């Protein structure tokens, strides 16, 4: 199977060198070497020139054919992409990722269908796997998402790999296995923007426009009373991002949703817990917190329990 891998990290030049060392056949490319979409003669110093051009922000691509395993490699302003044929598994991919200074990795699909969501930033749409390393986990609204999705989870050190479907499954079965996980993980990826109009500014108008909420200065928590409505993922996302932004006046260290109806609170509990938001309800006239002792069981799909 052909592995299509998208990688980002703090030092793309170092990542490019490491990716070629891990995936490349070890000799100058004999089929393609281009910088800024202009072909060049590779030469023995191709990797040095390749990395130098990248440091100046040039779009570059390189490829091999010939007697070695097919390999393709390119680097843009924000991402490194590599592709190579082989008998890939989640375990063998994890071994390669251990050698790379990446933060977030995406894989292209191995079937004809397109992935259901993804990381953006020039990454592949979600395919059969993705991975996070170190600070890459901060791309998630919370690490809680990783433990509670319909996927197979592998960890090694501070690398977490998510496998979305059984690699031995036929195309349609693989799509049915993968798409719910694609959708859930896409919802769990957060982007923090320093620009006006971000998550904090979208959340606070609910308070200013008369929505029953108050700010607790002692705990730096915004408490939002919910009655007669549902709290959707978009609002939960804004609430979590407002916490992660860690800026503004007053600072928001937490967001607590207080439901006037206990049954409605329980219906929201799991999703709020995934976002690391507080879930409260009113029982016999007293506010009771539900998320603090909530410990949901992890229930991976059957194919992930006994992968083939």
Write down the pLDDT at residue 77: 58
Answer whether residue 300 shows pLDDT above 60.
Answer: yes
Backbone φ and ψ of 203, nearest 5°: -80, -45
Candidates 167, 87, 95; CA nearest to 131 is: 95
Per-residue pLDDT averaged across 115-137, rounded? Answer: 91
Average pLDDT value for residue range 174-190: 91
The predicted-structure confidence for 244-291, as pLDDT tens digits, reads as follows 876 667 788 999 999 999 999 999 999 999 999 999 999 998 999 999
Whole-structure pTM value: 0.81
Pairwise CA distance, residues 192 & 134, whole Å: 18
Alpha helix positions (H), the chain: 12-23, 46-55, 90-97, 144-147, 171-187, 199-208, 233-245, 262-274, 302-305
Asked which of 24-28, 63-67, 110-114, 201-205 is least confident by mean pLDDT, the reply is 63-67
207 pLDDT exceeds 70? no
List the beta bridge partners of residue 159: 133, 156
Query: Whole-number mean pLDDT of the chain?
Result: 82
Residue 27's pLDDT is 53
Q: Which pLDDT band, with edges at 50, 70 and 90, does 210 fall under?
A: very low
Residue 195 has a pLDDT of 42
Burial code (b: 16+ CB inside 10 Å, e: under 16) for 267-298 equals ebbeebbbbbbbbbbbeeeeeeebbeeeeeee
Task: Please say if the pLDDT value at position 152 is more than 80.
Answer: yes
């Amino acid at each position: 199977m052909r592995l299509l891998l998208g990688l980002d990290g703090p030092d793309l030049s170092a990542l490019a060198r490491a990716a070629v060392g891990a995936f490349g056949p070890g000799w100058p490319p004999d089929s393609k070497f281009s910088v800024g979409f202009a072909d060049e003669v590779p030469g023995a110093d191709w990797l040095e020139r390749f990395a130098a051009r990248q440091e100046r922000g040039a779009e570059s691509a390189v490829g091999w054919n010939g007697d070695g395993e097919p390999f393709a490699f390119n680097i843009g302003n924000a991402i490194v992409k590599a592709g190579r044929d082989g008998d890939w598994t989640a375990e063998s991919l994890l071994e390669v990722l251990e050698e790379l200074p990446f933060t977030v990795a995406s894989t292209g699909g191995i079937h004809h269908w397109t992935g259901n969501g993804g990381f953006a930033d020039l990454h592949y749409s979600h395919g059969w796997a993705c991975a996070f390393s170190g600070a890459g986990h901060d791309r998630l609204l919370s690490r809680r998402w990783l433990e509670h999705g319909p996927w197979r989870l592998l960890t090694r050190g501070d690398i977490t790999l998510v496998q979305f479907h059984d690699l031995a499954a036929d195309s349609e079965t693989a799509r049915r296995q993968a798409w719910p996980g694609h959708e859930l993980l896409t919802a769990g990826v957060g982007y923090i923007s320093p620009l006006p109009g971000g998550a904090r500014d979208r959340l606070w108008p609910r308070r200013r426009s008369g929505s029953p909420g108050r700010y607790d200065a002692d705990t730096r928590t915004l408490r939002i009373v919910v009655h007669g409505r549902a709290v959707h993922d978009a609002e939960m996302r804004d609430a979590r991002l407002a916490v992660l932004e860690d800026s503004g006046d007053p600072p928001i260290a937490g967001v607590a949703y207080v439901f006037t109806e206990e049954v409605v609170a329980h219906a929201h509990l799991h999703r709020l817990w995934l976002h690391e938001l507080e879930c409260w309800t009113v029982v016999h006239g007293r506010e009771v917190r539900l998320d603090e002792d909530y410990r949901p069981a992890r229930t991976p799909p059957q194919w992930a329990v006994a992968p083939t």
